[in-house]
Structure 1
């Protein structure tokens, strides 16, 4: 069986994107994103747990994110986990695990400085058109970074109407006036919104 290293997140930025430029001129942006989940504890009280994620994007994607995102921006992110080795001020080896961003999509209401539903995708191979190639190897300034290969690629998505429809049962039986109305399977108080 093959391996899989994929991360999918929907969350909000905890601070403005942090942009830097490598010695080779590649743009790098680091995002700090919060995701939350709600659950009931043993006593039945609702609790919320927030997880913070460090996400790194390169080149044109980094420039777009730095330009259009601010603290509180809601994003959909696709990427993979990577561990990076570095040295601190004292020369000690350190490691940090982060998400290498590959694709993103702006979420939230228009008017927050971002277009709703706009997505940007990293080029995943020679057969695709548009997008941007991401370097493999983390934040080290190693040179040899890939340059943009095309423009933004709008994701193809949307909803489709179901095919077919409701069909009347065959067999000639007609409902009678004595048929009770259908019963709801849920109680309105159980709806989470």
Structure 2
């Protein structure tokens, strides 16, 4: 099985260091290139996205099964993050991108960031988070993995991500782990993914 992994905003492929070795298959760690060279992947059999990575993968390959870890199909709007929060980040990013990145990572216990290589790509992806347009439907099965103590995603967003509240999408919730489940609860994530991929 070919598995593609994609990290979220403000991170890189290192977010998969704990989880990737636990996955059964040919794993490709994609990278948006915020801190180094971008890394792409061929069309996979299964894709796993963290945070913004889940939204990006869902839009790129809407007919490939998806695991969304701390993920969402739309970040801003009704039953999601207030648009003013991201708009404020976008404005501040234009003035001091390193400080915005530092503050964001601190808010989710993400540790220090590497030196920014592509301010443009970081800015473009931050703007994507501000998009309030309805998410396109994902035509393949989706598994949404969330945590009760995520400091970034409001409960309503976690509940409704990828249509989970309607029963169209499977989901599991971990009691704790914050917004970095691939690092903090790698074994739990791996077990959920293995069940989903059967």
| TM-score normalized by the length of structure 2 | 0.22
> TM-score, length-normalised on structure 1?
0.22
Please state which structure has a larger fraction of its residues in helix. Answer: 2
Where relative contact order (Cα < 8 A, 6+ residues apart) is larger, the structure is: 2
Give the structure with higher Rg (CA).
Answer: 1
